[in-house]
Structure 1
Amino acid sequence: MNNQEWRHIRKVMENTQKAAMHCSIATVDAQLQPTITPIGTLFLRENQTGFFFDTYAESFKENLPQNKKACIQAINSSRLFWLKSLFKGEFSDYPGVRLYVEIGELRPATNEELAQIAQRIQSLKWTKGSQLIWSDFTQVRDFSVQSFRWVKYPKMMPFGK
């Protein structure tokens, strides 16, 4: 993928995470059964890589030793996005993206990564749930993006998309 496509992917991912507060990562276990894990702590870098905080996902510990490949799917679930699109009969942008990735080993988070998650959860930091869920983040997994596919509804895609 070229730099323009990657910038567009990052924009769509940002919009989907604002709306849904998470994306999904699909991995496969040793019996080839798929598992989908919601992750609200995924970040994309400028160089077609990214990372996510891995604190609660038991499936990654079980599935990744056999197969490091995964699919990350992010869908824009904003009601305003969908209502505008349905009213106009056309999406203003792709409603989502699938990233085909290879996931790395668990490692300690850097100070910069900890600052990024602190900024993302800042508006909810005062809630009891935020303190329970997001207070112990210390480990991340890097991933590299191998390819991607846009989520499309062909009859509602603008010309040229």
Structure 2
Amino acid sequence: MTLEQNWDRIREVVARAGHCALASVDADGGPHVTPIGTVFLRDDATGFYFDEYTEALARNLDADPRVCLMAVDTRPTLWGRMLLTGRFPTAPGVRLYGTVGATRPATAEELRRVRERVRIPVRLKGGRMLWSNFGHVRDISFTDYRPVGYPHMPSPLQR
């Protein structure tokens, strides 16, 4: 199945994952992985994330915009059920491949979405330190995906 055919299921996996990681390539050709807690997917195989606290990632993307976004559902209920039944009831994770655009100011709708996501933790001191100063995003256009899978356990998210 194509990226577009599985897009709704992919969006569900990413939404359940909460935090994601973006892999990029540094100036020496080495891999660099950055945790990103503010990834949002749209309806059309694109997304965006808030480009805050990502100096090394930003440098890498300015030189090479290709990325791999990985999202893994870490809910104990998913993994506990898999251990009991030997299969995943929903896809445990996904890797999305694409390119990232230049930094731009966030729209009012994008700011609303991130504020909704962090509305509870931002009430705490650490949450305010991390999530009070959003202003810039980068768009991501996805071109391919691969389900996260484990040997002998088929994933409900098929290629």
TM-score by length of 1: 0.92
Q: Is the 8 A contact 2:26 2:32 kept in 1?
A: yes
Matches within 5 A, 1:28-107: 28-107=25-104
C-alpha distance in structure 2 between counterparts of 1:37 and 1:14, whole Å: 18
The SS at the match of 2:134 is coil
Across the aligned residues of Structure 1 and Structure 2, the Cα RMSD in angstroms comes to 1.5
Amino acid at match of 2:6: E
* Cα distance, 1:125 vs structure 2: 2.3
C-alpha distance in structure 1 between counterparts of 2:54 and 2:137, whole Å: 11
TM-score by length of 2: 0.93
Unmatched tracts of structure 1, length 5 or more? none
* Residue aligning to 2:15: 14
Render the CA deviation track for 1:30-60: whole Å, top value 9, x for unaligned: 1101110000000000011000001100112
Q: 1:109 to 1:29 in 2, by over 3 A?
A: same
C-alpha distance in structure 2 between counterparts of 1:4 and 1:115, whole Å: 28
* Cα distance, 1:160 vs structure 2: 9.0
Stretches (4+) displaced over 2 A = 1-4, 158-161
The SS at the match of 1:60 is helix
Q: Is the 8 A contact 2:3 2:45 kept in 1?
A: no
The SS at the match of 2:140 is strand
Q: Is the 8 A contact 2:105 2:137 kept in 1?
A: yes
Percent identical among aligned pairs is: 41
C-alpha distance in structure 2 between counterparts of 1:138 and 1:90, whole Å: 41
Unmatched tracts of structure 2, length 5 or more? none
* Residue aligning to 1:145: 142
Q: 1:3 to 1:61 in 2, by over 3 A?
A: closer
